[in-house]
């Protein structure tokens, strides 16, 4: 057994917070969250979202890190070890597998979308001008219709990601995050300031934060909950793997609090920046997924300092996606190095090759293979559906069941080490509220198959 082999530990508590925020802050925060906020009830949606984070996201984030740190191994070994320690069946190891393999599935389509971002970053820096809404739409459609270009950018992005993981936990993952995340924050603050100066911050504020309770429906609550999962990178082994490198003395609860808070703040700030610029140009903000690819390039072409601002914005998205993708590779690579004894670089590039192949199929699902559909979905949507709609909540549910009901109170408190009342609060929320909330998601979906 390689459980007790010496493993890396993040060099500080800040390093851990930063890499985990790096995992959490990604494409989800930048195009999905702001758009959802605006379109689904403004501050009412933000409130629901915060509630989901507090009652489902944060307790699960803590539980996942707890398992990782207690098991001190890749998600599969960590699950096996904590299961054994608590007298539970080794079948719980399967939960580790769902995380490890699910993360690679997510990566296969995440890397394709991030590839579009690399292309747009390149265009922004090169000063490509997009003059009309039609041209913006056409440009995006042309990209999707071109398999070679999609595959090329997917390859570039995946190589960047795998290259970091190949270098190791400290000199690869930690170092990359320590460079990229501060850069991301600086760019973000600059964009918000710029949005305040040349944009229409007031309208952006109203769009995002006006209280519109009439827009809140079951559907909205559902998407807020789903987004809390996706945004905090829950249920897919990524957080568990990062937690396994956390120093025993660090407080899980405090760190998680900051991670969840920063993740939400980034989404809100990005939203204010994007929308204030968008509204200043009289454009609509509810184009959803098209926001980043249709609307913003147009805005950047027509605004003062647009080339610089546009380049910085796409770099911000790229950095966010990159640090998230890194966290999706690590769980499997940790497993391969620890259990198979494969050299880290070989494990990383081998994993990359497999994900690359699947990603190529995803690229083709937009064009050459677009006729091939299952349940009316192309491969891209299938993988998204399987991971975000099924695997993530299911594995979140299993984690809550394990830590809440199977793991002994003493073992849990040993890792969490909160004052008794706070510990009790966290544990009871996990045991009842979190579990009930996830079960309700599934019930709601069964009752509303179109949701
Ligand atoms: N949280 C990232 C985002 O918001 C996506 C992500 C990274 C992720 N790692 C994950 C999602 C692991 C689920 C599980 O874009």
Nearest CA owner, ligand 1 atom 8: 233
- What distance in angstroms lies between residue 24's CA and the mean position of ligand 1's atoms? 6
Nearest CA owner, ligand 1 atom 6: 233
Question: End-to-end CA distance of the chain, in Å?
Answer: 45
Which ligand 1 atom minimizes the distance to the CA of 27?
Answer: 15
Nearest CA owner, ligand 1 atom 14: 233
Our mutation pick for probing the ligand 1 site, out of 184, 231, 395, counting the most ligand atoms within 8 A of Cβ, is 231
Query: 14, 8, 3: which is closest to 344 by C-alpha?
Result: 8
- What distance in angstroms lies between residue 153's CA and the mean position of ligand 1's atoms? 20
- What distance in angstroms lies between residue 107's CA and the mean position of ligand 1's atoms? 9
Q: What does the pLDDT read at residue 103? A: 96
Q: What does the pLDDT read at residue 4? A: 45
pLDDT in tens, 285-310: 777 777 888 889 999 999 888 999 99
Give the mean pLDDT of the chain: 93
Q: DSSP string spanning 235-254? A: TSSHHHHHHTTS-TTS-HHH
Decide: 335 and 76 in contact? Cβ < 8 Å. yes
Cα separation, 427 vs 423, in Å, equals 6
Query: 73, 127, 385: which is closest to 237 by C-alpha?
Result: 73
Our mutation pick for probing the ligand 1 site, out of 22, 30, 106, 243, counting the most ligand atoms within 8 A of Cβ, is 106
Which ligand 1 atom minimizes the distance to the CA of 238?
Answer: 12
- What distance in angstroms lies between residue 231's CA and the mean position of ligand 1's atoms? 6
Kindly list the protein residues whose Cβ atom lies closer than 6 A to any atom of ligand 1. 23-24, 26-29, 103, 106, 230-231, 233, 236, 238, 324, 327-328
Q: What does the pLDDT read at residue 6? A: 62
Q: What does the pLDDT read at residue 394? A: 93
For residue 180 the two structure tokens come to 């990229």
- The pTM (predicted TM-score) of the whole model is 0.94
Low-confidence ranges of the chain (pLDDT < 50): 1-4
What ranges do the domains of the chain cover?
Answer: 13-447
Decide: 180 and 322 in contact? Cβ < 8 Å. yes
- Residue whose structure tokens are 């509220």: 433
Nearest CA owner, ligand 1 atom 10: 233
Q: In this structure, which topology does domain 13-447 adopt according to CATH?
A: Amino acid/polyamine transporter I (1.20.1740)
- Residue whose structure tokens are 């069964």: 446
């Amino acid at each position: 057994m390689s459980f007790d082999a010496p493993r890396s530990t993040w060099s500080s508590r800040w390093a851990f917070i930063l890499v985990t925020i790096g995992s959490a802050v990604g494409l989800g925060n930048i195009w999905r969250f702001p758009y959802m906020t605006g379109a689904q009830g403004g501050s009412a949606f933000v409130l629901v979202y915060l509630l989901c984070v507090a009652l489902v996201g944060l307790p699960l984030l803590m539980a996942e890190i707890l398992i990782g740190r207690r098991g001190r191994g890749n998600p599969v070994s960590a699950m096996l070890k904590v299961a054994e320690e608590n007298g539970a069946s080794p079948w719980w190891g399967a939960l580790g597998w769902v995380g490890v393999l699910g993360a690679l599935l997510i990566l296969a389509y995440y890397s394709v979308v991030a590839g579009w971002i690399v292309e747009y970053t390149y265009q922004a820096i090169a000063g490509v001008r997009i003059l009309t809404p039609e041209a913006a739409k056409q440009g995006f459609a042309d990209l999707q219709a071109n398999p070679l270009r999609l595959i090329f950018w997917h390859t570039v992005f995946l190589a960047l990601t795998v290259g970091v993981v190949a270098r190791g936990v400290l000199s690869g993952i930690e170092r990359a995050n320590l460079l990229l995340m501060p850069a991301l924050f600086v760019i973000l603050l600059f964009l918000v300031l710029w949005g305040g100066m040349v944009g229409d911050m007031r309208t952006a504020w109203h769009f995002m934060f006006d209280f519109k309770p009439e827009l809140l429906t079951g559907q909205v609550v559902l998407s807020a909950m789903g987004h809390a999962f996706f945004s905090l990178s829950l249920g897919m082994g990524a957080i568990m793997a990062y937690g396994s490198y956390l120093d025993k003395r660090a407080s899980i609860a405090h760190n998680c609090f900051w991670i969840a808070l920063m993740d939400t703040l980034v989404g809100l700030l990005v939203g204010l920046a994007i929308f204030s610029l968008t509204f200043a140009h009289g454009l609509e903000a509810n184009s959803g997924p098209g926001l980043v690819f249709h609307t913003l390039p147009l805005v950047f072409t027509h605004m003062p300092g647009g080339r610089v601002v546009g380049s910085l914005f796409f770099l911000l998205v790229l950095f966010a996606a990159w640090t998230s993708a890194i966290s999706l590779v690590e769980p499997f690579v940790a497993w391969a190095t620890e259990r198979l004894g494969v050299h880290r670089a070989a494990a990383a590039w081998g994993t990359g090759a497999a994900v690359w192949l699947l990603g190529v199929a995803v690229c083709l699902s937009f064009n050459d293979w677009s006729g091939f559909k299952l349940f009316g979905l192309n491969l891209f949507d299938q993988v998204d559906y399987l991971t975000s709609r099924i695997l993530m909540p299911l594995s979140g549910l299993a984690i809550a069941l394990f830590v809440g009901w199977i793991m002994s109170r003493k073992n849990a408190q040993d890792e969490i080490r909160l004052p008794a009342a706070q510990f009790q609060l966290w544990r009871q929320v996990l045991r009842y509220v979190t579990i009930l909330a996830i079960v309700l998601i599934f019930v709601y979906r069964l009752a509303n198959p179109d949701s």
